[in-house]
Structure 1
Amino acid sequence: MNIALWITAGVLATVCLVGSSKMFVPQEKMAAMGASAQWVLDFSPSALKAIGAVELLPAAGLILPAVLDIAPVLVPLAATGLVLLFACAVSMRLRRGERATIVGDLIYLVLAAFVAWGRFGPESFTG
């Protein structure tokens, strides 16, 4: 179970790192990436930078506290934050009628919930 949680946390951290590119890629370039990226046009460039920062924090929070053994309770908290982030992403996709692209967000939501449950419960670092 511990290995599955580490792998899942690594996958989620990678997804968040890639997603945090919103901080550096211009809005027009992201919108040109395809139909699933049209949502960026609904947000201002500063809001996209904030969303990118919100995705960068869990990328670090899922891995670094446990590896460095500094406040490892931050791992399940970061996973819980990701659950909230992906729940907001799902609601945004539903509001925009993007039902075809919602599957990825739902999968990431379930993976984040698995890490939160596992690190708060049976495989917590505290004990």
Structure 2
Amino acid sequence: MNTITWIFSGALAVVFTISGILKATMSRARLIATGQTGIAPFPMPLIRLVAICELAAVAGLFAPWLTNHARILTPLAAVGLAVVMIGAATSHSSLKEPKSTAANTVLLALATFVAATRFADLFL
């Protein structure tokens, strides 16, 4: 189970590192042109805040668990990513984008799995 959790954490880290960097550096028009259409209804300051949160969560998926300091931050980072994916899936669903909604749902499932397994490792 630990190996699967690390693999899922790595997959989340790759996706959210890319997403966070793009949201932090690109203009609204460029983001929409590259497929991040779910940002359309939101103001850019909120998009930039989400980008920072995504990048912080990436660090939180690994650093606390690997250093054995404040390990509770790892499942909390995964919960944060799950919350972001709920918002993203809702946004894409309202825009009638089933493929993006499905991708968000898969990422939501991965983040939920990582959160659940890391919480279990802490408390069981």
> TM > 0.5 between the two?
yes
Counterpart in the other structure of 1:4: 4
- Flag the structure with higher helix content: 2
Taking structure 1 as the reference length, the TM-score comes to 0.87
Question: The residue matched to 1:81 in structure 2 has which SS?
Answer: helix
Counterpart in the other structure of 1:113: 112
Retained in 1: the 8 A contact 2:92–2:100?
Answer: yes
Question: The residue matched to 1:10 in structure 2 has which SS?
Answer: helix
Bigger drift between 72-81 and 36-45 goes to 36-45
Counterpart in the other structure of 1:25: 26
Question: The residue matched to 2:50 in structure 1 has which SS?
Answer: helix
Counterpart in the other structure of 2:67: 68
Retained in 2: the 8 A contact 1:73–1:126?
Answer: no
Q: CA deviation at 1:55?
A: 0.9
Retained in 2: the 8 A contact 1:66–1:125?
Answer: no
Q: CA deviation at 1:125?
A: 4.6
Q: CA deviation at 1:66?
A: 0.9
Q: CA deviation at 1:94?
A: 1.3
Q: Which of structure 1's runs of 4+ aligned residues deviate more than 3 A? A: none
Q: Distance in 1 between matches of 2:77 and 2:118?
A: 10
Q: Distance in 1 between matches of 2:105 and 2:118?
A: 20
Bigger drift between 39-48 and 112-121 goes to 39-48
Q: Distance in 2 between matches of 1:38 and 1:114?
A: 26
Retained in 2: the 8 A contact 1:72–1:126?
Answer: no
- Extract unaligned runs of 5+ from structure 1: none
Bigger drift between 41-50 and 97-106 goes to 41-50
